[in-house]
Amino acid sequence: MQYCKLQIGCLVIVLYIVCVYVKETLKRNISCHPVYDMLLAICPWAIVFDGITACSVNYLHIVPAGVNLFLHGVFFLLMVAVIACTYLYMIDITVGLPKKKRKTVCLLAPAILSAAFVLLFLNQTYYVHGKTTNYSMGISVVICYVSLLIHFAMIFILVIMRRHTIEKRKFVSILWFMAISLVVLLVQTLYRESLVSSIYPTLVILGLYINLEDPNIRRLQQYNAETVMGFATLVENRDHSTGGHIKRTKSYVGIIMQEMKKDPKYRMILTKDYEKNVLDAAPMHDIGKIATPDHILQKPGKLTDEEYAIMKEHAAKGGEIIKETFSYADNPAYQQIAYEVARYHHEKWNGQGYPEGLQEEEIPLHARIMAIADVFDAVSAKRCYRDAMPLEKCFSIIEEGAGRDFDPDLVAIFMHARDQVEALYHETAAE
């Protein structure tokens, strides 16, 4: 018992988090993060075997050498698994895991190699008699340390490269988590008798729970998203729409971004946070219409010049509404994207749009994406002043607007995803 007091304390903390997480997740009916769930399953066992090996290495005269070696092998493999899952989790919350299993396996290559070398050199593990406790050494131990450093180096490089498109709170949390974990590694390396390895899986579970996986925070975020969608639908209904427009345009935006990922030009920009923020902001693009008079918004015929001038004000007013409404939001990146989507989605590539006459890449990327989705749905859906245009004509309008109304690169991407767009159009045609 005297050799595993730290491990027992760490295990109590982790099991408490596991119980609270499971209880709150089930209670609030929140979807779980699969990689975090894997960590919840692996980390307690890693701590348990850390404690068992901390004891067994001090009773070499009682514990058979083969059993001791087996226990250490299991512990080493569990630690490699914790490191690998932490790496996958960080990848997923920043840029997202690849959909193809083959690419995910490639991400796991360092961990697979580490596990293989741990087993290969396991029989070379030896035990050192310290002043206060015995401890294990050998190539397998070094491999675990090196595996952690390699994976953390890859995470650090990724986070720094994508820092401008990762949510600030998440960015800071990841860096603090890595810093504290590396301190634990440094202490264990310099003071080998400290046996503080169990602190790492404990930090993984506790740190990620507090900063990213707390079910209460996730449920609150879900409520916020539902409130935004409800508010946007309410505004949309003012022009006798069913709310189908905001759902379709959001889906078109999603299709465009998924296709953009295939282009190296956009790969560094489209982090998971950026995609989520753009998708969450898309329903707010016409929020400024709440300030447009009904007689203009619902007019069945063509607008006069004066009426059109008033209608165009919805873009600038939408930006103002979002700035005022989300001024205390805890996600400044989302606030900025929502503001720019609302204000600039009517800007044109040639500078002839409104409200500021921005041109080309002066227009934020997310507003350029929104512009294509908005116009395509506007011409392909029935409105109070006209019927829906034929689908072929709708695609022609987008294609002909390349380099004039729309970003030509994004138009090419949109046209390349035509099959997906058509499938969505037919699926939601009744809305």
Domain boundary among 197, 213, 229: 213
Please state whether the peptide bond connecting residue 44 to the residue before it is cis, i.e. omega within 30 degrees of 0: no
- pLDDT score of 57 more than 80: yes
Q: Of the ranges 25-39, 41-55, 161-175, 394-408, which one carries the lowest mean pLDDT score?
A: 161-175
Mark whether 134 and 260 lie in a shared domain.
Answer: no
Helix (H) or strand (E) holding 134: strand 134-137
Tokens of 263: 């282009």
List, in sequence order, every residue forming a beta bridge with 129; answer none if it has no partner. Answer: 134
Type of residue found at 268: M
- Out of 138-142, 157-161, 329-333, 337-341, least confident range: 329-333
Confidence (pTM):
0.77
Secondary structure (DSSP) of 200-215: HHHHHHHHHIIIII-H
Q: By mean pLDDT, which of 122-131, 137-146, 323-332 is the weakest? A: 323-332
For residues 286 and 182, membership in a common domain is answered with no
Are the beta carbons of 380 and 393 closer than 8 angstroms?
no
pLDDT beyond 80 at 425: yes
Q: Please count the other Cβ atoms lying within 10 Å of the Cβ belonging to residue 94.
A: 22
Domain total in the chain: 2
Tokens of 271: 């982090």
Cα separation, 244 vs 284, in Å, equals 13
Has residue 339 got a pLDDT over 60?
yes
pLDDT of res. 170 = 81
- 88-102, 138-152, 157-171, range with greatest mean pLDDT: 138-152
Kindly tell me if the per-residue pLDDT of 431 is higher than 60.
no
pLDDT of residue 87: 93
Range from 62-66, 157-161, 162-166, 399-403 carrying the lowest mean pLDDT = 162-166
Q: Quick one: pLDDT at residue 100? A: 78
Rounded to the nearest angstrom, the gap between the alpha carbon of residue 195 and the centroid of all alpha carbons in its chain is 34
Rounded to whole angstroms, how far apart are CA atoms 107 and 65?
35
Residue 397 has pLDDT above 80, yes or no: yes
pLDDT at 243: 55
From 213, 240, 270, give the residue that closes a domain.
213
Q: What is the mean pLDDT of residues 312-333?
A: 82
**Percent of the chain at pLDDT exceeding 70:** 95
CA separation, residue 58 to residues 50, 128, 347 (Å): 13, 10, 72
* Shared-domain flag, residues 208 and 346: no
Are residue 163 and residue 301 in the same domain, yes or no? Answer: no
Within this chain, do residues 45 and 177 fall inside the same structural domain, yes or no? yes
Does residue 282 register a pLDDT over 80? yes
209 and 329 fall within a common domain: no
Q: In the structure encoding, which two tokens stand for residue 408, read together?
A: 């030509």
**Do residues 170 and 221 share a domain?**
no
- The reply to whether 412 and 358 lie within a common domain is yes
The verdict on 209 and 353 lying in the same domain is no
* CATH code of the domain covering residue 95: 1.20.1070
pLDDT for res 259: 94
Residue 235 pLDDT greater than 80, yes or no: no
Looking at the structure, tell me whether residues 175 and 283 fall in a common domain: no
Cα R_g (the chain), whole angstroms: 27
- pLDDT greater than 60 at residue 1: no
- pLDDT value for 246: 85
* Res 64: pLDDT: 93
pLDDT of res. 429: 63
d(CA 285, CA 372): 12
Q: What pLDDT digit, counting tens, does each position of 374-396 carry?
A: 999 988 877 655 677 889 999 99
Q: Find where tokens 């099959």 sit.
A: 419
Label residue 175 by pLDDT band (50, 70, 90).
confident
Whether pLDDT at 173 is above 80: yes
pLDDT at 67 over 90: yes
For residue 343, pLDDT beyond 60: yes
User: Across all residues in the chain, what is the average pLDDT?
Assistant: 87
Q: Residue 86: which of 207, 171, 185, 198 has the closest Cα?
A: 207
Side-chain half-sphere CA neighbours of 40 within 13 A:
17
Name which residue leads in pLDDT, 238 or 422.
Answer: 422
Instruction: Kindly tell me if the per-residue pLDDT of 354 is higher than 90.
Output: yes
What pLDDT, on the 0 to 100 scale, is given for residue 125? 92
Domain around 160:
5-213
Helices of type H across 95-161: 101-107, 109-120, 139-161
Domain boundary among 172, 195, 213: 213
CB-based contact 62:126 (threshold 8 Å): no
Return the number of other C-beta atoms located less than 10 Å from residue 234's C-beta: 12
Please give the pLDDT value at position 238. 67
Domain identity same for 271 and 208: no
Would you say residue 168 has pLDDT above 70? Answer: yes
Chain-centroid distance of CA 423 in Å reads 26
Q: Region of 360 please: left (phi>0), alpha (psi -120 to 50) or beta.
A: left
* CATH number of the domain bearing residue 238: 1.10.3210.10
For residues 116 and 174, membership in a common domain is answered with: yes
Block residue for tokens 């810093």: 179
Name the β-bridge partners of 402. Answer: 406
Task: Give the pLDDT mean for 31-48.
Answer: 92
